[in-house]
Amino acid sequence: LSDVTQVELYRSGAPAHLPAPIGGVLRLVTHLRPEPWRRFALVVGSFGQRHLQLASGGAQRLVRHALSVSYRGSAGDYTYYNDRETLYNGRDDEPNAVRTNNRSTLLRLRLVVEAPLWSGLVRAQVLAHVNDRGIPGPGAVSAHAAKSSQDEALGSLSFRRQARGVDVRATAHVMKGGR
């Protein structure tokens, strides 16, 4: 929370570049730290879950930057107790049934660069993610070839300046997505 510089609350409607649920949006705006920093995370869990994150940031002269790359995935195939919806007949139960095609892969990239310009601050940001996952099908029935893929990229360029006690901003966003 020490990096949060501003909290924006949008009740009901929100700017076009933010998701707009009915209740509104709470946006935490952060600043980039000038001191060099690095982060590494590796997590391994059940059902073949794994997560890897590499991030770094800092400043070169007047330009501050941050880069984060992460991967999250799971094998997804897991065992479960299948009673075949016959609650009172234990003879047809399958105690080690395997639910297949639950695999998932998510790749994310975030790059932010800030620099002073014309007594203000210009900020460029690129966010991208690729999500690929299997669709398991209903109950114990596997849908082996079914999958869902989604890729999105968001780029923004903003300029911010204090003028006579008023915060003046100009922002442009570009979004590209596919399924």
pLDDT tens string, the chain, 179 residues long: the values are 566 777 877 766 655 555 555 666 777 777 777 888 899 999 998 778 899 999 999 988 889 999 999 999 888 777 778 887 788 888 888 888 777 767 788 899 999 998 888 888 888 888 888 888 877 666 556 566 677 788 888 888 888 877 776 667 676 667 676 65
* Non-local CB neighbours of 57 within 8 Å, separated by 6+ positions: 32, 33, 36, 37, 64, 65, 66, 67
pLDDT at position 84, please?
75
pLDDT of residue 13: 60
Residue 89's pLDDT is what? 84
pTM over 0.75: no
Residue 71 has what pLDDT?
Answer: 94
pLDDT at position 99: 72
What gap in Å lies between CA 128 and CA 43, rounded to an integer?
22
Non-local CB neighbours of 27 within 8 Å, separated by 6+ positions: 7, 8, 9, 10, 18
The pLDDT of residue 137 is: 62
